[in-house]
Amino acid sequence: MSGPYKGVRVLELTSTVSGPFAGMMLADQGADVIKIEPPGIGDLARFMGTIKDGMGAMFSTLNRNKKCICLDFKNEEDLEVLKKLVSTADVLIENYRPGIVKKLGIDYESLSKINPDLIYCSISGYGQSGPYKEKKVYDPLIQGTVGIPLAQNNQSPELIRTIIYDKVTGLTSAQAISAALYQKAIGEGGQYLPISMMESALYYNWPDLMMNYTFDEGGVNIGELADLFEVYETNDGGVVLIIIANDEVFTKFCTVFDLSLHLDDKYNNLVSRIINKEELTIEINKVTRFLSSKELEDKMDREGISASICNELNEVYKDPQVVEQGSITEINHPELGIMRMPKPPANLKGQSSFPRSLAPILGYDNREVLSSINIDDDTIQRMEDREKQNREMLASLMQANEE
């Protein structure tokens, strides 16, 4: 391990995105993250989205730098193994639905008796209480609750095409765990950290998206920040231009293209440009659509007007700024070939090359991890035999499905 969390052991009892994202961040910063999955299929994210030779692309990103073991919490022997691991851990992260961990006997109250210094992070959709706590939650539900679809389009509600609040919750959880580790380091012991996707989303959204609902009374509504931005057409795509917000910038843009829009009462001030934004966009597109995206961006750069090409997703990692910064790491996976993933934005003292290890196959680290806590060889062998049998059965099912 390398980085500031070298020596910190994290047990990750999570699946899909929010919990694995939190574990990924801690692992990237040097923590010894042990991902504990159920036997058989394991984390369903292994089979979500783009898959190559049994490895999901999303899973491979979220679970780099981790170890993986398999435990069945309904098996008494496996449960005792978990409890022994808990006695060695600094952090436990889980994202079961509220109430499940208590039924399994692995809730904070139970495990803190084994390890009073344990930092126990419970990630949920809507929280551990309230009318929504029993919902089976996915990111789009949280988007709906916090108003995102109507914020995108109040005539025809639209979801954001990314699981934004799963990832925001992962970021929030990792930061909260970091703060809890600091408190533990100064002698304040362990603690319980219930973190919901809903509250993470509200915390993230509020500064700008909810600015017109911050003051209960009074205040002048000057519109949404999003009203100040627009994508304008080019002959090969589009370019984001920031020209509406400032009179001087808008006038400069009009001068560059020999337009008189800045003299028109409909567009000669900020409020008028926002009110008549749709018409203004049509007028601007009449001149921008004759240029390529690169030509328009270069033209705006020369004039000091903020502009950015809208990259296709398959062009993002080829963007010259991304390339120059070395923001994307290419890895030659021994079985999957060339893979790409973004390096962590912060490279902290003592960190080695990235990534330290690739996402593990299910149960890959059973023997190493369990031997380190003196689990007897018969128990380890039983688990290895179980996982081998499960892998063979799953491979047969996948082959039959392909045929």
pLDDT confidence bin for 103, thresholds 50/70/90? very high
The CATH 3.30.1540.10 domain(s) of the chain lie at 229-315
Six token digits for residue 327: 């923001």
pLDDT confidence bin for 396, thresholds 50/70/90? confident
- pTM of the prediction? 0.94
Share of the chain above pLDDT 90, in %: 86
pLDDT tens figures, 69-98: 999 999 999 999 999 999 999 999 999 999
The CATH 3.40.50.10540 domain(s) of the chain lie at 9-206+327-402
**pLDDT number for residue 366:** 96
**pLDDT number for residue 110:** 98
* Range 229-315 has CATH code 3.30.1540.10: yes
Q: How many residues does the chain have?
A: 403
**Residue 191 CA to its chain's centroid (Å):** 24
Indicate if the pLDDT at residue 1 is higher than 70. no
Give the burial class of 214: count Cβ atoms within 10 A of its Cβ; 0-12 exposed, 13-18 middle, 19 or more buried: exposed
The neighbouring-strand residues paired with 37 are: 70
CA nearest to 57, candidates 363, 338, 402, 357: 338
**pLDDT number for residue 246:** 93
- Residue with structure tokens 């509504």? 221
Indicate if the pLDDT at residue 259 is higher than 90. yes
**pLDDT number for residue 352:** 78
- Which of the following CATH numbers is that of domain 9-206+327-402: 3.20.20.70, 3.90.420.10, 3.90.1530.30, 3.40.50.10540? 3.40.50.10540
More confident position, 111 or 47: 111
What is the DSSP track for 100-144? HHHHHT-SHHHHHHH-TT-EEEEEESS-SSSTTTTS---HHHHHH
Edge-to-edge strands, sheet with 91-94? 66-70, 32-37, 9-13, 91-94, 119-124, 191-196
**pLDDT number for residue 225:** 84
Give dist(CA 115, CA 83) in Å, integer. Answer: 9
Q: How many helices (H) and strands (E) does the chain have?
A: 16, 13
